[in-house]
């Protein structure tokens, strides 16, 4: 398969490297420096047992395509001969795996639209939910693949990562070719007839305790220490369960509250990506977490006032940076 990895952070490099064993993979990077590192050094993945595996794949930066060269399939176009930001001469992608921040999806897809053909499948393993609303600007529903992964990866440099967690990768049923290449690459994979429920299950954590700890700029465990904070968390969970149920994904509210509490108790000192983004003055993914709940609630006629307030408050923090 001809695969483009859109977003060459820790997770993008993990999947890009392992998929490159049996596929023609190109990492799409934001910086030319990372392209040069990947092409010069290969992609180094340190496994949990200490083994270091080196993968050789292609890499491009859409804004600086000159000075790039390929190490992969010689039948592909020589990127060093292409004019700046011209992807039109590259082969169309069979698969685009999206790992950029959800709020950057539109911009990232627009940058590589010349490699998206009528048969290209756009596949997201991003945080949050609702990316399909953006992906529909570039393809039809038949070529959109939604998934979630429990794999973990830590970036150590532009060309090296540490494979920090082994977990299941879930994709919507109906894409056996993608399931096959994932399994060939060593990823434990489940094709799900109800991918929406898997997405909601992760949202129940990210859209409750995680977003609140980020907004308050405190470690996750501090949410348990405040009765008022925990009260907000439970309201967020109850609203999400109501929207999920209206979409056909039933959850036991008390079980989910207990699960979130257990998650916090196991990671009292942890901070979330939204915490880091707000701390560093960056745009967050809240529109694809709590904002997604607001959007779906409006579509399904389910009131979600707590999510509306949380989404607005995060945007206030973003605007005050």
pLDDT at 109: 96
Hey, which CATH number is domain 195-319, 3.30.70.1290, 3.30.70.1060, 1.25.40.10, 1.10.1040.10? 1.10.1040.10
| DSSP line for 10-64 | HHHHHHHHHHTTTSEEEEE-S-HHHHHHHHHH-EEEE-TTS-EEEE--EEE-GGG
Hey, which CATH number is domain 2-192, 3.40.50.300, 2.40.128.520, 3.40.50.720, 2.60.40.790? 3.40.50.720
pLDDT at 65: 56
| Mean pLDDT, all residues of the chain | 91
Give the count of beta carbons closer than 10 Å to the beta carbon of residue 68.
20
Taking the model in full, what pTM does it have?
0.87
Residue bearing the bigger pLDDT, 65 or 284: 284
Specify the residue for token string 């911009």: 107
Edge-to-edge order in the sheet of strand 144-149 = 58-60, 24-28, 2-6, 95-98, 121-124, 144-149, 169-172, 189-192
Q: Each residue of 210-265: pLDDT tens digit?
A: 999 999 999 999 999 999 999 999 999 999 999 999 999 999 999 999 999 999 99
pLDDT tops 50 at residue 59: yes
Percent of the chain whose predicted confidence (pLDDT) is above 70: 93
Q: Each residue of 65-111: pLDDT tens digit?
A: 543 333 333 333 444 444 444 687 788 999 999 999 999 999 999 99
CA distances to 95, 206, 237, 313 from 283, in Å: 27, 16, 24, 13
pLDDT at 175: 95
Q: Is 74 helix (H, G, I), strand (E, B) or coil?
A: coil
The reply to whether domains 2-192 and 195-319 share a CATH topology is no
Domain assignments of the chain as residue spans, ordered by start: 2-192, 195-319
pLDDT at 321: 76
């Amino acid at each position: 398969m001809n695969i483009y990895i859109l977003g060459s952070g820790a997770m993008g490099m993990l999947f890009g490297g392992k998929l490159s064993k049996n596929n023609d993979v190109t990492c799409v990077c934001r910086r030319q420096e990372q392209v040069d590192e990947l092409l010069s050094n290969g992609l180094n993945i340190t496994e949990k047992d200490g083994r270091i595996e080196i993968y050789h794949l292609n890499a491009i930066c859409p804004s600086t395509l000159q000075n790039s060269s390929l190490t992969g399939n010689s039948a592909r176009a020589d990127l060093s001969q292409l004019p700046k930001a011209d992807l039109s001469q590259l082969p169309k992608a069979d698969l685009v795996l999206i790992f950029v921040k959800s709020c950057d999806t539109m911009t990232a897809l627009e940058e590589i639209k010349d490699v998206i053909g009528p048969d290209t499948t756009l596949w997201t393993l991003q945080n949050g939910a609702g990316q399909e609303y953006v992906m529909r600007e570039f393809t039809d529903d038949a070529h959109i693949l939604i998934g979630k992964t429990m794999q973990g990866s830590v970036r150590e440099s532009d060309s090296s990562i540490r494979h920090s967690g082994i977990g299941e990768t879930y994709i919507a049923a109906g894409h056996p070719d993608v399931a096959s290449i994932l399994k060939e690459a060593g990823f434990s994979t489940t094709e799900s007839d109800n991918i929406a429920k898997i997405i909601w299950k992760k949202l129940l954590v990210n859209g409750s305790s995680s977003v609140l700890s980020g907004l308050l700029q405190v470690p996750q465990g501090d949410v348990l220490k405040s009765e008022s904070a925990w009260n907000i968390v439970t309201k967020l969970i109850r609203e999400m369960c109501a929207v999920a149920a209206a979409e056909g994904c039933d959850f036991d509210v008390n079980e989910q509250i207990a699960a979130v509490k257990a998650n916090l108790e196991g990671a009292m000192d942890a901070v979330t990506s939204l915490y880091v983004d707000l701390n560093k003055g960056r745009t967050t993914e809240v529109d694809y977490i709590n904002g997604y709940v607001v959007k779906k609630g409006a579509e399904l006629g389910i009131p979600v006032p707590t999510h509306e307030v949380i989404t607005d408050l995060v945007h206030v923090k973003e605007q005050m940076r």
